[in-house]
Structure 1
């Protein structure tokens, strides 16, 4: 396999670029495996743009008529300092036989391919983690389509949920035996220290994970905290290295906690913690977005999980924040494995059911399962690690609390308190 193809296959699997191995050759992305310069565009399209004076619109050549063959258009977009770039496609009809649009996070030379795509993509948005974006459009030598129109704007990354400003290292497919995340790339991650008696300078009784939803709200699993009280919970945000001071950490104790009223053990495994005082958002502390109650993850959808759980079955918890990518398991297979131990309306499974070896593990309880929204490009919380068998065993995928099914309780509880 050639080096370019290896790169694109990796981008497809780890960075959620919707290209199968067989499609890599159709896209003919070479030489655009890194972001090219606008001066490589044909003379009648592309260019250097900035968003500081308002929203921008770019289109394929001749839009709304069919774009011509053999076109290369490259736009380099710069937002104001401290902003990020957001692009949406109100209309998109680009054929897949060698035609494509590719979006890079950064300017010329960037290797951070956000996504490459063709066919239909109406309404879907993507965003950068920096204040620069490169947009590449290429058409083939023969059949063309009606093309696209895109709206580009700049947005404030702070307070914009699901929009990290620090680029991710492409995630491997495991936490067990896993890979260290880039510090700050999952800024909604919260380390929760749980005491079963009043907190003291010594170590807590155990730890689990939460997810930042707002400046003073954290969501986690009920099974993580139901045995204690809110003021016996210490929440650390901006954490990366559990054994050393990173300089980015902010700690808060809990003020109130709310357990889902239907939780006993297992299903409805979700809880909220209101912190004693709000936190200020920065590069290392940001909230994740909540999904719609109607959102559904189809079987096989690749999703991201991050946590400090054990990196081997029976091993110690991780020192550094870990990350992985796993597929969603069908509800049918999940029920066949776990039966009455779960309620599929509020639970779901993710992981490699046949091979195992890639999974959440001890210490990951409450860890987020997330993916980028197909409509906004922002990261959304779809699951919380709830139940895991001996880590990474075949036919024993992790069970997650199904956040879309529980999101109405989450938002109502936050609004009333």
Structure 2
């Protein structure tokens, strides 16, 4: 009979059984409890359409109040019920993310750090560029995931072109995907790309609507330069009206650019296209083969077109192509389109031959409102107008002013001068006070014939050798009229750094285009008045700028600071600042009539001339500016009557206006020391804040200070020109006070 197991064997068996039971229990607990805490990450994407909302740009920013308010409304709606929505104005794209397992935080942090998301809102007028992170300075990062969410305006599609594309050859490692959606859904995938594509054969994608998604995924090895892509200008436009413009307008468009806009309006309607501003370079060939705008099948435009140039097509579809080459660029254009009924192209308006529509009240008012003069043809004039023999009507105040306004001399026939006026040999009438004043106020100079006077009085140019020069504009014309060169000395003035071609109706000046322009500030305040540099230490401004009022002593030099070389008011620290040493207003300045409205300012220390700081040339006392001559005004004044000042220096071209006509328009307030200039049809003028600044004229390859901005009746009003101090009248005074 065998012996049973001893005590040791029993203990071993019990311990072994207990260990097995513990292991089984532990596995069961882990399986039913701990394992249930493991979570795998899931991401769901999709979209839903919101029917009762109109998209606004603020929805692009998830931190905006508008976005949050709409999101709360959507969340509340989804909690109560969910249904398929098929129509509407706002599409909401969403992603749902779930947490990752515990212990994997470091991996998640790394994934988050190499994940980036960008959003771009493409405009039809502006080129948007997207690049892989680091491009072109360094390769894209390893183990990264990058998204670009692209959106265009309603009614447009997106065109994305990769002019540089250089990724790893194997698409299982690094790749770019482009989706016809804002979410990465396979059914919207347009293409997956990797490898290299030549710039001469770029990758191009066109969306079916106004959204697109681009993703870049990279692995850990072999990183490459990456890519650059452009959201092209142009696109599809629809609806009954809309607008578009050249890239960067009103700044200069880029070279080598092509944009196309396809416009489609409802069936049965025609399209009217209007260009409020149009400045497209003609280049060196001076015709439309370099830069142009083509209305396909209709016309091609280039150069500087009149404001509101109009083109119509008898169709509900129009294609507009803009092209620039590699030579000169210009400001470009802005354009609007609208529909019209084929049977009534100008509802309640007069239709010009060029298809422009104008108010019927502008017909036969003496102004070329159409741009092609068709509103002024075959007119029957009332008693307040001149009836020209060629069928035009002209304002009565243009009669007998020495200018052939009718075009057939009707307005200059049978003219007799009024009391107090001198009749020139060409029948022009000028004030008796202008006879023998040294200026050719008559176009034929007959007001100066037979005058016995000292030819070297203040009104003429006297050479250093004592010789007197009577020819107009003898200074700096390249000819030694004096014989000692004194008329050609001091000619380092009036030169622009560039030759490109608060002003109402103007445009931004180029940097350093007017290096003599000065911005005058009362200390610690914004821009107050303008001024012009005439030497290293002297400025010319308006006397009315330096008149005291109840609060500020404008006449005191310590009140002012001058900024030279300034282009944008926000960049004052980059300009040259000077304080004022003394102020010399003209002793005969009349604060009621603004006669003799000129003053001099001496800087506390000289300035060094540079590309951004240069003097303007001073005219000779004999200089005369005939009616019709083009002059340029510049300043930071108000860009509309009653408006705020400009940030960027503005410029505009206006024309000298006959002094007799101007005196009648301004109710007899014009003196011989004033010059009138403007656009009598309105729209272009100096305004508040431009006072004291220059009215410059181009002569002998230089700019001369023809006038100082003085006064006016409002800003840019019709029949109300701007009034400027006539600088030639004060040439001797400037020389006396400054030595310049």
**Superposed pair shares fold, TM > 0.5:** yes
Q: Secondary structure at the match of 1:243?
A: helix
What is the alpha-carbon distance in structure 2 between the residues aligned to residue 240 and residue 246 of structure 1?
11
Q: Does the C-alpha gap of structure 1 residues 289 and 221 become closer, same or farther in structure 2, counting only changes over 3 Å? A: same
What is the alpha-carbon distance in structure 2 between the residues aligned to residue 325 and residue 168 of structure 1?
15
Residue 162, structure 1, aligned to residue 486, structure 2: no
Q: Compute the displacement of 1:12 (Å).
A: 12
Q: Deviations over 1:190-242 (max 9, x none)?
A: 00113xxxx4xx325x6000000000000000001132211211111001111
Q: Which residue of 1 aligns with 2:651?
A: 323
Residue 359, structure 1, aligned to residue 685, structure 2: yes
For the 8 Å contact 1:306–1:321, the answer to whether it is kept is yes
Residue 203, structure 1, aligned to residue 529, structure 2: no
What is the alpha-carbon distance in structure 2 between the residues aligned to residue 189 and residue 125 of structure 1?
21
* Pairing 1:19-38 to 2, within 5 Å after superposition: none
What is the alpha-carbon distance in structure 1 between the residues aligned to residue 599 and residue 475 of structure 2?
31
For the 8 Å contact 2:532–2:539, the answer to whether it is kept is yes
Q: Which residue of 2 aligns with 1:212?
A: 533
What is the alpha-carbon distance in structure 1 between the residues aligned to residue 598 and residue 507 of structure 2?
27
Q: Which residue of 1 aligns with 2:589?
A: 263
Q: Does the C-alpha gap of structure 1 residues 339 and 211 become closer, same or farther in structure 2, counting only changes over 3 Å? A: same
For the 8 Å contact 1:293–1:407, the answer to whether it is kept is yes
Q: Secondary structure at the match of 1:244?
A: helix
TM-score (norm 1): 0.58
Q: Secondary structure at the match of 1:413?
A: helix
For the 8 Å contact 1:308–1:321, the answer to whether it is kept is yes
* Pairing 1:96-107 to 2, within 5 Å after superposition: none
The match for 2:506 among 171, 178, 188 is: 178
For the 8 Å contact 2:638–2:689, the answer to whether it is kept is yes
What is the alpha-carbon distance in structure 2 between the residues aligned to residue 309 and residue 12 of structure 1?
26
Q: Does the C-alpha gap of structure 1 residues 159 and 246 become closer, same or farther in structure 2, counting only changes over 3 Å? A: farther
Q: Which runs of 5+ in 1 are unaligned?
A: 14-33, 36-122, 128-157
Q: Compute the displacement of 1:276 (Å).
A: 0.6
Q: Which residue of 1 aligns with 2:546?
A: 225
What is the alpha-carbon distance in structure 2 between the residues aligned to residue 254 and residue 246 of structure 1?
18
Q: Which runs of 5+ in 2 are unaligned?
A: 1-280, 292-300, 307-326, 329-473, 479-489, 549-553
What is the alpha-carbon distance in structure 2 between the residues aligned to residue 10 and residue 256 of structure 1?
47
For the 8 Å contact 2:505–2:652, the answer to whether it is kept is no
Q: Which residue of 1 aligns with 2:695?
A: 369
The match for 2:618 among 281, 290, 299 is: 290
Q: Which residue of 1 aligns with 2:735?
A: 411
For the 8 Å contact 1:159–1:281, the answer to whether it is kept is no
Runs of 4+ more than 6 Å apart? 6-9, 123-127
Q: Compute the displacement of 1:332 (Å).
A: 0.8
What is the alpha-carbon distance in structure 1 between the residues aligned to residue 573 and residue 648 of structure 2?
11
For the 8 Å contact 2:638–2:645, the answer to whether it is kept is yes
For the 8 Å contact 1:309–1:360, the answer to whether it is kept is yes
Residue 334, structure 1, aligned to residue 666, structure 2: no
TM-score (norm 2): 0.33
Q: Does the C-alpha gap of structure 1 residues 410 and 160 become closer, same or farther in structure 2, counting only changes over 3 Å? A: same
For the 8 Å contact 1:258–1:272, the answer to whether it is kept is yes
Q: Secondary structure at the match of 1:316?
A: coil
Q: Does the C-alpha gap of structure 1 residues 125 and 5 become closer, same or farther in structure 2, counting only changes over 3 Å? A: farther
Q: Secondary structure at the match of 1:362?
A: coil
Aligned length: 264
**RMSD value, Cα:** 3.2
